Copies of this chain bind each other. A is one copy, B any other.
């Protein structure tokens, strides 16, 4: 499943990983000579949530479905925006403060499409990809309040082009 996911769209990088995300290596795969713009979103673990000090986080996913939805996001953006390549990488397992939980990177010939696609991808991921975060504090842990997921987050409304 994983292998198939990663090669479904030849140049897209869609991955769930349990090791630290190598942002530089991922980004370098996206840059092609005909591109001129790359936009990256790097989401990493904050040291606090609602005034409480975070110790660490744990992420889990419904992996085959998460792969499918991440692939759908990249395919949707490829269909709707003039982008070249896209990477969507999410880490699972235990993450310490400052570690990257999600990396999204988009290359394109011109910057508007890359900005639009990158922002759409992280919004869609947060609302439509089955991944869950548990936050560990001194004295306890809670599953993060999230959003009821659904297909509409993946492929509608159209990517913001503001």
Binding site for B on A (CB under 8 A): 23-24, 27, 31, 33-48, 97-98, 109, 111, 114-115, 118-119, 122, 160, 162
Known pairs A31-B44, A36-B45, A37-B41 / 6 extra A-B pairs, C-beta < 8 Å: A33-B98, A37-B42, A37-B43, A39-B42, A115-B118, A162-B162
Q: Which residue of B is nearest A41, CB measured?
A: B39
Chain B positions within 8 Å of A37 at CB level: 41-44
CA distance A48 to B36 in the complex (A): 9
Do A46 and B122 touch across chains, with their CB atoms under 8 A apart?
A: no
Q: Which residue of B is nearest A49, CB measured?
A: B36
- The A contact surface, by secondary structure, is mixed
Chain B positions within 8 Å of A48 at CB level: 34
Q: Which residue of B is nearest A47, CB measured?
A: B33
- Pick the contact of A36: B33, B35, B43 (CB < 8 A): B43
Do A31 and B98 touch across chains, with their CB atoms under 8 A apart?
A: yes
Known A-B contacts A31-B98, A115-B115; A36 and B44 likewise in contact (beta carbons under 8 Å): yes
Do B31 and A36 touch across chains, with their CB atoms under 8 A apart?
A: no
CA distance A37 to B162 in the complex (A): 21
Known A-B contacts A24-B24, A111-B122, A115-B119; A36 and B40 likewise in contact (beta carbons under 8 Å): no
Chain B positions within 8 Å of A35 at CB level: 44, 46
Chain B positions within 8 Å of A34 at CB level: 46-48
Known A-B contacts A111-B122, A162-B160; A39 and B36 likewise in contact (beta carbons under 8 Å): no
